[in-house]
Chain A
Amino acid sequence: MLRFVARRVTLTIPVLLGVATMVFSLIHLIPGDPAQAMLGEAAPEAEVAALRRQLGLDRPLLEQYGDFLGGLVRGDLGTSLRTGTSVAGQIAERLPATFELAFAAMLVAIAVALPLGIAAAAWRGTFVDHTAMAVAMAGMSIPNFWLGPLLAIIFAVELRWLPVSGRGGVEHLILPAFSLGLALAAMLARMTRASLLEELREPYVRAARARGISPARAVVVHAFRNSLIPIVTILGLQFGAVLTGAVITETIFSWPGIGRLLVQSIGFRDYPLVQGCILLIAVTYVAVNLMTDLAYGLLDPRIRYQ
């Protein structure tokens, strides 16, 4: 197992280096002079030159790249242009809110998807299957930037059951978590159905039925347990989609997380903060993928020896 972990971790290093390189090059993709673009066309030349010096844009590209990587190793993501505070500090302040929302959304997704997927597979080809999959497909097609406001109109404005925005107790979390989690639930329900159908074809399920085990027990206890591995993998891989979706959901519900910080920093042309947010989300995604891979290896020994 140790060798498997070491191999997977080693394979992640070049990917992380590639991610860092792409995030570094973002600032150099800005058309024209990046410092001028950040300060606006009307900014005096002296200010532009000072910012160029502050960001190190007046030095050779390789030196800038070396400094950028060195900073990352030390946990230094630079300084925000707007607030003058450390980018890493601002991100660390917002990180718990984003993780809270992402995990709540995943819980919503699991709670909705598993019963839907199991029902669709168990009653394949029937009205239940068609309805469950049509609902799932609709869930995948509804944009979360539309679902969010609709949920807010119904549950916050009309019924006044829940707060419309901000972060606080559990009641603040419900609308953003549902808005973010339902698309994932739809995808997960389809995956659960497909994975369970594969298992239901296996001879051991027929053998269980032949032994007199009820259809419900054969599905839930026997087949479902074995269909969990691909479901867990998809859940891990979709964590990235949840993080990206959080950019929109946090904006809609004024949730003080990384996503909202990213959108705000784009508006202010605070590119060091944009770079920091993008880097953090991408690295979190890579880390979750790595953990999913490792969990997969732990659950299925065949993967470890490949």
Chain B
Amino acid sequence: MTRAGAAIVGVTVLAALLGPTLVGIDPAFQDLPLRLEGPSTAHWFGLDELGRDILARLLAGARISLLVGAIVVGISATVGTLLGSIAGYYGGIVDDVVSRVSDILMAFPGLLLAIAVVAVLGPSLTNVVLALTLIGWVGYARLARGQVLRVRELEYVQAVRALGAATPRILAWHVIPATLPALIVQATLGMGGAILAEASLSFLGLGVQPPTPSWGTMLNYGRSHLLDAPHVTIFPGLAIAVLVLGFNFLGDGLRDAMDPTMGSKGTRGTL
């Protein structure tokens, strides 16, 4: 499954890099007389409500999805890891402040805070990234804090401290690297989560605005043609599900590799 996940992610990244040039059709080109036409040899995934090629728009939308995922996960993981590591290593008031702020942010379930932030700031790609980062860093901070609390007591860290190394150096070179495997798993799964979250916000009309192609926005507009042109809804939904599945398979495989007792290959625990 890890290989399947890596293959899905790899193919999507490649398709996003090549973009609409892969099909040679401008994703913004409107062929109004053929609007809502079903899949054909000329347009493999059919045309949307404005007669635009759905495959070309999916390829252009893949860039948005992957870009949002990468930026949100990148910023969240960096900020969260730094804050969590500092909180876990130093403890005291720094830990209290980081922990209380994350407690409050975690009191808002899932996407709710992102919906609230985008609702007041206005719908746009930048605000989606801002809103998702605002809630995204907490998970990484909690994970990093927990890992640092464990790692800082290990003998090699105490040895480095006894040798007189400065705290920032201990954190940067000896503590944070030891927490990286768990953070990489979290970030891989986080990519799927961020892509799904961006699509959800765009579906609600709070994310990427037309005419920029986004998978969530395509689904939102396709919803009104569910009966006469289901292909407008089916393909963007399938694209989201397959890419998120790819990241989930990959993240899960990485986690199993780091904790073999939970995977399917172990023998302990079976009857």
Contacts and interface: CB of A to CB of B under 8 A. Distances in A.
By size class, the interface of chain B is: 35 or more
A301 to B, nearest CB: 25
A19 B109 contact: no
A285 B111 CA distance: 13
Determine chain A's interface SS by DSSP, over half rule: helix
Nearest to B223: A149
B264 A22 contact: no
B248 A133 contact: no
Given A263-B204, A274-B119, A18 B192 contact: no
Given A140-B248, A153-B226, A282 B109 contact: yes
B8 to A, nearest CB: 10
A215 to B, nearest CB: 5
Given A15-B107, A122-B271, A278 B204 contact: no
B252 interface: yes
Given A146-B237, A194-B262, A218-B271, A14 B119 contact: no
B269 A130 contact: no
Interface string A162-192: 0000000000000000000000000000000
Contacts of A142: 237, 241
Interface of B is mostly: helix
Contacts of B100: 14, 18
B45 to A, nearest CB: 15
B269 A124 contact: yes
Given A18-B100, A133-B264, A266-B119, A138 B245 contact: yes
B226 A29 contact: no
Given A137-B252, A149-B226, A129 B204 contact: no
A141 interface: yes
A134 B253 CA distance: 12
A56 interface: no
B264 A281 contact: no
A153 B107 contact: no
B103 A143 contact: no
Nearest to A281: B112
B219 A146 contact: yes
Residue of B110, B192, B206, B216 with most chain A CB atoms under a 10 A cut-off: B110
A138 B240 CA distance: 11
B204 A31 contact: no
A278 B238 CA distance: 30
Interface string B223-260: 10011001001101110111011001100100000000
Contacts of B266: 124-125
B226 A130 contact: no
Contacts of A149: 223, 226, 233, 237
A19 B104 contact: yes
Contacts of A67: none
A197 B263 CA distance: 10
B264 A124 contact: yes
Given A143-B196, A200-B270, A244 B104 contact: no
A125 B107 contact: no
B260 to A, nearest CB: 12
B122 A31 contact: yes
A198 interface: yes
Interface string A265-296: 01100010010001001100110010000000
Interface in B179-207: 192, 196, 199-200, 203-206
B108 interface: yes
A145 B122 CA distance: 21
B71 interface: no
Contacts of B23: none
A74 interface: no
A228 interface: no
A201 interface: yes
Contact of A26 (B103, B104, B116, B227): B116
B271 A219 contact: yes
A18 B103 contact: yes
Contacts of A205: 271
A150 B244 CA distance: 18
A119 to B, nearest CB: 13
Nearest to A133: B264
A248 B121 contact: no
Given A29-B120, A252-B223, A19 B115 contact: no
B93 to A, nearest CB: 15
Contacts of A121: 269
A129 B116 CA distance: 40
Given A29-B120, A129-B264, A143-B219, 11 more contacts: A23-B116, A125-B270, A134-B1, A141-B241, A143-B200, A145-B200, A145-B203, A244-B110, A245-B110, A248-B204, A266-B204
15 contacts: A18-B100, A26-B117, A29-B121, A121-B269, A124-B269, A129-B264, A133-B264, A142-B241, A146-B236, A153-B227, A201-B268, A244-B111, A262-B115, A263-B204, A286-B107
